[in-house]
Amino acid sequence: MIDLPNPDAADFGSGLAKIADIRRSNPAIPEPATPEAGGPERRKFRTIWISDIHLGTRGCNADMLIDFLDRTDSEIMYLVGDIVDGWRLKKKFYWPPAHNDVVWRILKRAKRGTHIIYIPGNHDEMFRQFTGLNFGGIEIRRAAFHNTADGRRLMVLHGDEFDAVMQSHRWLAFVGDWTYRAAMQLNVLVNAVRNALGKPYWSLAKAAKHKVKKSVEFIGKYEEVVAKAAGERGVDGVVCGHIHTAEFREFEFAGKSVEYWNDGDWVEGCNALVEHEDGRMEILNWADEMSQREAALDKQSSPEPEAAPDPAKEAA
Ligand SMILES: [Mn+2]
Q: What is the DSSP string of 46-72?
A: EEEEE----BTSTT--HHHHHHHHHHE
Distance 9 CA to ligand 1 centre (A): 24
The pLDDT, as a whole number, for residue 274 is 98
Tell me how far the alpha carbon of residue 108 lies from the centroid of ligand 1, in angstroms.
Answer: 25
CA 295 to ligand 1 centroid distance, Å:
34
- Distance (angstroms) between ligand 1 centre and the Cα of 134 equals 22
Q: How far is the CA of 82 from the centre of ligand 1 (A)?
A: 5
Average pLDDT, the chain: 83
Burial 281-315 (b: 16+ CB within 10 A, else e): bebbebeebbeeeeeeeeeeeeeeeeeeeeeeeee
Q: Residue 2: pLDDT above 50? A: yes
Binned at pLDDT 50, 70 and 90, residue 20 comes out as very low
> Ligand 1: distance of its center to the CA of 308 in Å?
55
Ion ligand 1 contact residues with beta carbon within 5 A:
82, 121-122, 160, 242
CA of 33 to the centre of ligand 1 (A): 28
Q: Has residue 81 got a pLDDT over 90?
A: yes
Report which of residues 212 and 120 the model is more confident about: 120
pTM of the shown model: 0.78
The pLDDT score that the predictor gives to residue 134 is 92
Mean pLDDT in residue range 107-131: 95
**How far is 19 from 117, CA to CA, in rounded Å?**
13
Would you place residue 31 in the very low, low, confident or very high pLDDT band (cuts 50, 70, 90)?
Answer: confident
Q: Are strands 237-240 and 153-156 parallel, antiparallel or unpaired?
A: parallel
Tell me, in angstroms, the distance from the centre of ligand 1 to residue 53's CA.
10
Distance of CA 193 from the midpoint of ligand 1 (Å): 37
Which among 280, 243, 285, 277 is positioned nearest to 259, based on CA atoms?
A: 280
State the distance from the centre of ligand 1 to the C-alpha of 293, rounded, in angstroms.
Answer: 31
Which range has the worst mean pLDDT, 62-66, 87-91, 223-227, 280-284?
87-91
CATH class of 16-162+239-251+260-295: alpha beta
CA of 124 to the centre of ligand 1 (A): 8
Please tell me the distance between residue 250's alpha carbon and the centre of ligand 1 in angstroms: 22
Give me the residue spans of the domains in the chain.
16-162+239-251+260-295
194 CA → ligand 1 middle, Å: 38
How does DSSP classify residue 84?
A: B
pLDDT computed for residue 268 by the predictor: 85
Rounded to the nearest angstrom, the distance between the alpha carbon of 169 and the centre of ligand 1 is 11
**184 CA from centroid of ligand 1 (Å):** 23
